[in-house]
Amino acid sequence: MIYRRQRQQYIFAIFLTVVAVVNILFYLILTRPSQTEYATLQEEIVQLETQVKKSEALFKRLSDNAAKLERFDGDKSALLMTHLVQRDEGYSEIQGKLNAILKKSGVKYTSIRYNLNTDLQAGLNPVSMVVPVEGNYVNVVSLIRELENSDTFFLISQINLERRAPQEQARPAAFNASSAAPAPGAVALSLSLETYFYQ
């Protein structure tokens, strides 16, 4: 009788163990896909948040560019009217401004050669000028500074420089080399300039 009861208890315990193992396996089988799907959803959420941040940054850049484009026409007109010359009165105005700069700097100059390029570049006509000038170093530096600071846009594209020796003066018979100081020579150069006319 005791043996039979123990046997029934063993069988019941084995049955309960089998049921528990089956339940655990069912739990794992049922919850594993959900856990995998949850992890996948979490990764997708992180990726979407990153994409949203990138989209917001792109939208901000596009908004800034759109605002700049709205101001473009006004800025272009202000630039043209402030720093460039209209083609109709171009040569006379450029010549007057250039002559005033040359006189102010104190250099000597001969004729100025102009060359208008009739091919439009971004809606502008390029004008090249060659200006041969002569003067001392201070005057030449002053000329270049005046051109750079001019309200009218002048681009110095090339400088051909030549140092000229001063005219030799008559020396006394007794020449003392230690007391002689060389006189500064004149600097002769040819400036190649460019500016633009707008229509």
Amino acid 53: pLDDT:
92
The series of mean pLDDT values per 10 residues for the chain, 199 residues long, is: 75 85 81 79 90 92 84 66 64 80 87 77 78 87 87 83 53 38 64 80
Q: Where are the domains of the chain?
A: 1-83, 85-165+186-198
Amino acid 187: pLDDT:
81
Could you confirm whether domain 85-165+186-198 is CATH 3.30.70.60?
yes
- Please give the Cα distance from 154 to 24 (Å, whole number): 87
Give which of 198, 11, 47, 8 is closest to 120, Cα–Cα: 198
Amino acid 83: pLDDT:
60
Helix (H) or strand (E) holding 9: helix 2-83
* Close Cβ partners of 114 (under 8 Å, ≥ 6 residues apart): 91, 94, 127, 128, 129
